[in-house]
Structure 1
Amino acid sequence: METVQSRQQAAPSAFIAFARFVLFGGGVGLGSSFAVAALASWISWALANALITVVSTLLATELHARFTFGAGGRATRRQHLQSAGSAVAAYSVTSVAMLVLQLLVAAPGAVLQQIVYLSASALAGVARFAVLRLVVFARNRSQAVVPVRTARPVHATVARASAPAALAMLLRAA
């Protein structure tokens, strides 16, 4: 019987996961910044950013599922939806940053636009890392438990515990 644990790779340390996140997410983000700039010459910047954000989020979520967080396979629909939520927040941060730039500088040059966009993307990226690691690709303790087959059923007796005793047991288990 194949277990969840045997299908998944060992979870990397926070440092290794962050380094991979920067490599894969940063690479996709850097490519996206140039794609947004190129696409914005044909359509509005907001629409270009939205389209590139959707495509880059799908790509980055797959890379993070396979390599960054050690999920060991393709991202699930649930993970894509949760990741999309963090991407909406990142899109909002980059859009607001660019709108503020337009309000503060009458005709910002391409270099200044890239600096502002990449700075906003980096800030949003750090927040996204936390969300992806702690929520989207978090591992439940129950997934790490390997099922045990027994020859006969094992019956457990459950004793009722007082609320303080139950809380103490939960804290010890954590």
Structure 2
Amino acid sequence: MRKKQAAPGAFTAFARFVLCGGGVGLTSSFAVAALASWMPWGLANALVTAVSTLLATELHARFAFGTGGRATRRQHAQSAGSAAAAYAVTCVAMLVLQQLVAAPGAMLEQVVYLSASALAGVARFTVLRLVVFARNLPPVPTPARTARPVPATVARAAAPADPAALCRTA
């Protein structure tokens, strides 16, 4: 049985996300560069993205978002969706670079790739925190409702059609 631990606050979760995801992402960028010398860049990025997503999701589940154990299949599947979007962002960034610069150097490619990865990473953190690992978040406190006095209403008597009726006694 998995021991449920309290989820860390947003700042702590983000710091852990950056540490885990950034470490995996930095390692991945070098892996993509190395594999791209043997195969097309898009294929190298796809392979590295798949492996790094599995690893990062496990690290995020155990460390960044405080699930207290391994990521579930559902969490892996949802995380894969956010990774696919990140993959698209990095591919588009590299395609734009190749359109703008005839022969970009390795350093420029790394800067563009890591910048696109960082942008996608912030969006991915948001999705993982608010959707994928949301059930581990502490409930958002709702303001206490205080009873407000209901204003008293004064019923007005309808005026009789005959004003002389007010003077008559029953």
1:12 to 8, 22, 36: 8
2:65–2:136 Cα contact (<8 Å) kept: no
1:24 aligns with 2:17: no
Higher radius of gyration, 1 or 2: 2
1:68 to 64, 68, 77: 64
1:110 to 106, 112, 119: 106
Question: How far does the alpha carbon of each residue in 1:120-174 deviate from its partner, in whole angstroms, 9 at most, with x for none?
Answer: 0000000000000000000178x98xxxxxxxxxxxxxxxxxxxxxxxxxx989x
Structure 2: 5+ residue runs without aligned partners?
A: 146-170
How many Å separate the matches in 1 of 2:84 and 2:44? Answer: 14
Indicate how the Cα distance of structure 1 residues 82 and 172 shifts in structure 2: closer, same or farther if over 3 A, else same: farther
1:88 aligns with 2:81: no
Pairing of 1:116-135 with structure 2 (within 5 A): 116-135=112-131
TM-score under structure 1 length normalisation = 0.78
- SS of the equivalent of 2:134 reads coil
How many Å separate the matches in 1 of 2:83 and 2:62? Answer: 18
- SS of the equivalent of 2:116 reads helix
How many residue pairs are counted as aligned between the two chains? 143
How many Å separate the matches in 2 of 1:139 and 1:121? Answer: 26
How many Å separate the matches in 1 of 2:18 and 2:66? Answer: 15
Question: How far does the alpha carbon of each residue in 1:84-103 deviate from its partner, in whole angstroms, 9 at most, with x for none?
Answer: 00000000000000000000
Letter in 2 for 1:91: Y
After superposition, the CA RMSD in angstroms is 2.1
How many Å separate the matches in 2 of 1:43 and 1:53? Answer: 15
- Aligned equivalent of 1:53: 49
TM-score under structure 2 length normalisation = 0.79
- The answer to which structure has the higher helix fraction is 1
2:45–2:87 Cα contact (<8 Å) kept: yes
Indicate how the Cα distance of structure 1 residues 35 and 140 shifts in structure 2: closer, same or farther if over 3 A, else same: closer
